[in-house]
Amino acid sequence: MSRKSKKDQEQIKEQDVEMEKSLEQEEVDQTAELEKKIAELEEKVAKDKDDYIRLMAEFENFRRRTSQEKLELVSMASVDTIKGLLPVLDDCERALAVLKDSNDSEAAKEGTELIYHKLIAYLQSKGLAVIEAKDQVFDTDLHEAVAQFPVPEEDKKGKVFDVVQTGYTLNGKVIRFAKVVVGI
């Protein structure tokens, strides 16, 4: 029995060794499989994070763009309104020029000046500015030449000699060019 039992013990030991090797191999396989799954999950998390960051950046750009568009829409609405008031402003200036040279009552002159100053003050509060043109160097970004006039002085050549119609800017943008006579 001792022989058999030695043989049995050896078989049991061999089986134990084989079982341990098999268990070790299973552990190695499971570890490799888990590491592969971890790598896949990390890759998926990195991709999802990148997608999230891109989506947030896209949303921020969208938000900025829409708020800019809203500001431009409001600005453009005021441009049309103010452009419509410019002929009224021109008429007030003409009325003041005529009243200045006439013998009409002082009340008419003062009333017209009061209306003109209120209108110009209101428009200036909305961003309207007069383009100063007289005696300035002719600039095609601000002026529109309607005529040329010969001038004897060399320093007045290329400069605005007279303003036919006042030009205006609204918040830095030209809404009406100054119509001018240029000295040549």
pLDDT, tens digit, 9 for 90 and up, residues 147-183: 998 888 888 888 998 999 999 998 888 999 999 999 8
Which amino acid, 140? Answer: T
The CATH number for 167's domain is: 2.30.22.10
User: What is the predicted pLDDT for the residue at 120?
Assistant: 94
- pLDDT at 40 (0 to 100): 96
Average pLDDT, the chain: 89
Residue 141 lies in a domain: yes
Residue 150 lies inside a defined structural domain of this protein? yes
Burial class (CB in 10 A: 0-12, 13-18, 19+), 159: middle
Please report whether residue 28 resides in a domain: no
Indicate whether 37 belongs to any domain.
no
In a domain, 32, yes or no: no
On whether the CB atoms of residues 96 and 139 are closer than 8 A, the answer is no
Query: Domain tally for the chain?
Result: 1
- Structural domain of 143: 128-184
Q: Give the strands of the sheet with 167-170, arranged side by side.
A: 128-131, 167-170, 173-176
Query: Is a pLDDT exceeding 70 seen at residue 31?
Result: yes
Per-residue pLDDT tens for 35-81?
A: 999 999 999 999 999 999 999 999 999 999 999 999 888 777 788 88
pLDDT attached to residue 4: 64
- Residue 54 within any structural domain of the chain: no
Question: Is the Cβ–Cβ distance between 175 and 168 less than 8 Å?
Answer: yes
